[in-house]
Chains A and B, each alone.
Chain A
Amino acid sequence: MKMKQSLGERTFDFVNTLLMLILILATLYPFLYVLFASVSDPGLLAKNRGILLAPLDFSLKAYELVFNNAMIMIGYANTLFYVVVGTAINIFLTSLGAYALSRRNVMLKKPIMMMIVFTMFFSGGLIPTYLLIGDLGMMDTRWALIIPNAMSVWNLIIMRTAFQGIPESLEESARMDGANDFTILFRIILPLSLPVLAVMVLFYAVGHWNSYFSAMIYLRDRDLFPLQLVLREILITNSTDNFITGVGGGDRYPVGETVKYATIIVATLPILLLYPFLQKYFVKGVMIGSIKE
């Protein structure tokens, strides 16, 4: 490995490292800015121009307002429901499908797989789906966010590929002992597939946590709103008004600003906290799904 480095190569290494540092900065700084701004003093923040390298003073006023806001708390609770119930259904169905479609000598396996994969490339689209949800009586119910997204083809393929990699001998011996397919799936295959299971839970859960569009078109009842929909109102349609009632007249505007930042932090924190522990699994998931030479 000890090769003589030419000047060109050393220059490249230097420039490359520099580019990577810029990438890190460009990725992280927006989050840091939001974090610093969220704990800054609202008045000082309003006067500040340009970048922040540290919080301006320190104030948790914004977080107090966020946690006292009924809509955000309702949204949080609803999102937790959608994430937990939605992911459970996702994992259950995806495991069943992945197991069945990873078995050998199942005659209808190929047509079923083709039928499923076709939906990746062609779909009825937004409007017929919307009408279908209405016809099924799911409009303005929690189910509209869960059942129509019960599984994803991509994740099914990832899981099926993982199941195919499990040695058949394990299954054979279980079958000798009289185990049926359900026992084999839940007692042997799934416990052996914890890494891919973690990836699936993660992909589905993040998907539910982050989605807003289905909720926006299917839900009217504000008590069912997920967090992202509440966030949309606060961050994008710009209504921090419901926070400001009860705050002294003078600092109306500035508090609105810090509240936005605090809301972003509160809504993103679960993912940011889990992220370092789970990121090694993401990579595994993408690799199982895509590369199979």
Chain B
Amino acid sequence: METVRTETRGATKSKPTSVKESYWRRLAKDLKRNKNIYIMVLPVVIYYLVFHYGPMYGLQIAFKNFNTSEGIWASEWIGFDHFVEFFNSFYFWRLIKNTFLINFYELIFAFPAPIILALLLNEIRKMWFKRAVQTISYLPHFISVVVVVGMLVDFTARDGLINELLVGFGLEPISFLQEADWFRAVYIGSGIWQGIGWGSIIYLAAMSNINPALYEAARIDGAGRLKQALHITIPGIAPIIIILFILQMGSMLSVGFEKIILMYNPITYETADVISTYVYRKGILEASFSFSAAVGLFNAVINFSLLILANRISRRTSETSLW
């Protein structure tokens, strides 16, 4: 993220060769001089235009009655009808609540987990042990979501590992994936299992950039390890925590559907159905394209606004921001 910002500053420095030359003249010259560069970047630009800006153009179907025979452009405009339908629908508040709560619990439990792990790892003196823990904890990040959910299904089944252990301890077995009350805990818990190690890398990297002289000085002043962690390590990684926090805020109303689609079923919809999974069911499975595009757009606009808001607040209060 940092790179994006320094970049924009650097680029404005390219001085015009002559003040009088118009922008277009200079551009024409630049296109000629950097011909190869522009040829190289052309396929990249085309890719983003077609596959990322193309769908943004297609978003207009949210305001239309899209039908496949007429195509995106020729379909009839109907204004905000689909949005109104969504806001008034039976599922609206349930979807908002589920989406928000999953994100909220994620912010409380899953967001700090890698920070805590990184702080604990930072206190380990035996390098081989630290490296071993790191290596092992990254591993689940590379396992596919299908396999992770597959293992969850198996371990949490009636006769699965977890329930056999529960019964072994004299407890009642629980059908974790069949009970709405358990969905969030299982979703977030397995997310932490998969992401804690990988998530800690970025904080450990930030810690390794902290000037060792600071610790030296603190030790001379008699600060113990707890004080060093509180007054040097945590402030040292604060900017990166803030950046990741802003990004997390920007996705406050979006949850990856890939994992939920594999995990949920009609019994757990009550807590598991989120906006993105609803879009998937309505749009892909039931082919209500316009309606689901409207729901998706609603979600994207809220996310984008939250991102901007979080970024602005952070820039005001901590001078750390994405842009």
Interface residues of chain B, those whose CB is within 8 Å of chain A, are 1-4, 6-8, 10-12, 14, 26-27, 30, 34, 36-38, 40-41, 43-45, 47-48, 50-59, 61, 71-72, 117, 120-121, 123-125, 129, 132-140, 142-147, 149-151, 153-155, 161, 164-165, 167-168, 193, 196-197, 201-202, 205-206, 209, 219, 224-225, 240, 250, 257-258, 261-262, 276, 279-280, 283-284, 289, 292-293, 296-297, 299-300, 303-304, 307
A50 lies within 8 A of B72 (CB)? no
Task: Give the nearest-CB partner of A136 in chain B.
Answer: B50
Whether the pair A212, B136 counts as a contact (CB closer than 8 A) is: no
List chain B residues, Cβ under 8 A from A26.
Answer: 193
| Contact across chains for B136 and A109 when beta carbons are under 8 A apart | no
Q: A123 to B52, Cβ gap below 8 A? A: yes
Point out the residues of chain A lying under 8 angstroms from B34, CB to CB. Answer: 103, 105-107
CA–CA, A160 and B139, complex, Å: 27
B146 & A228 in contact (Cβ 8 Å cutoff): yes
A12 at the binding interface (Cβ < 8 Å)? yes
Query: Is B30 touching A212 in the complex (CB atoms < 8 A)?
Result: no
Known contacts being A127-B289, A232-B262, is A151 close to B44, with CB within 8 Å?
yes
Check: A27 CB closer than 8 A to any chain B CB. Answer: yes
B129 near A20 with CB under 8 A, answer yes
Contact A275 B142 (CB under 8 A): yes
Is A224 part of the contact surface with B, judged by Cβ < 8 Å? no
Main secondary structure of the interface of B (DSSP, over half): helix
A286 with B202: CB separation less than 8 A: yes
- In the A-B complex, the 6 residue pairs with the smallest Cβ-Cβ separation, listed nearest first, are A124-B55, A235-B150, A128-B58, A210-B144, A125-B296, A128-B55
Q: A50-B168, A116-B48, A127-B279 are in contact. Are A108 and B38 (CB under 8 A)?
A: yes
Neighbour of A30 across the interface among B59, B137, B144, B155, CB < 8 A: B155
Q: From the candidates B30, B48, B262, B303, name the one contacting A108 in the complex (CB within 8 A).
A: B30
Nearest-neighbour CB distance to chain B for A194, whole angstroms, equals 20
Residues of A close to B30: CB separation below 8 A:
105-108
Q: A235, B201: Cβ atoms under 8 Å?
A: no
Q: Please, which residues of chain B bring their CB within 8 A of the CB of A24? A: 132-133, 136-137
Answer whether residue A268 sits at the interface, using C-beta atoms and an 8 A cutoff.
yes
* Beta-carbon contact of B137 and A9 below 8 Å: no
> A16-B123, A271-B142 given as contacts; is B41 within 8 A of A292 (CB)?
no
Q: What separation, in Å, do the CA atoms of A208 and B178 have in the docked complex?
A: 30
Partner of A16, one of B120, B197, B296: B120
Given contacts A209-B144, A260-B154, 7 further A-B contacts (CB under 8 A): A30-B155, A115-B45, A131-B61, A132-B51, A181-B37, A231-B147, A267-B147
User: Across the interface, which residues of A come within 8 angstroms of B132, CB to CB?
Assistant: 24
Contacts of B136 in A (CB 8 A): 23-24, 27-28
A to B CB contacts below 8 Å, 11 in the list: A13-B123, A27-B139, A96-B40, A96-B41, A119-B48, A122-B56, A125-B55, A211-B144, A213-B258, A292-B3, A292-B6
- Which chain B residues lie closer than 8 Å to A261 at the CB level? 154
* Cα-based distance from A126 to B281 in the complex (angstroms): 11
Q: Tell me whether A112 is interfacial, beta carbon within 8 Å.
A: yes
Binary B-proximity of A5-26 (CB < 8 A = 1, otherwise 0): 0101100110011011001101
Asked whether A198 is an interface residue with its Cβ less than 8 Å from the other chain, the reply is: no
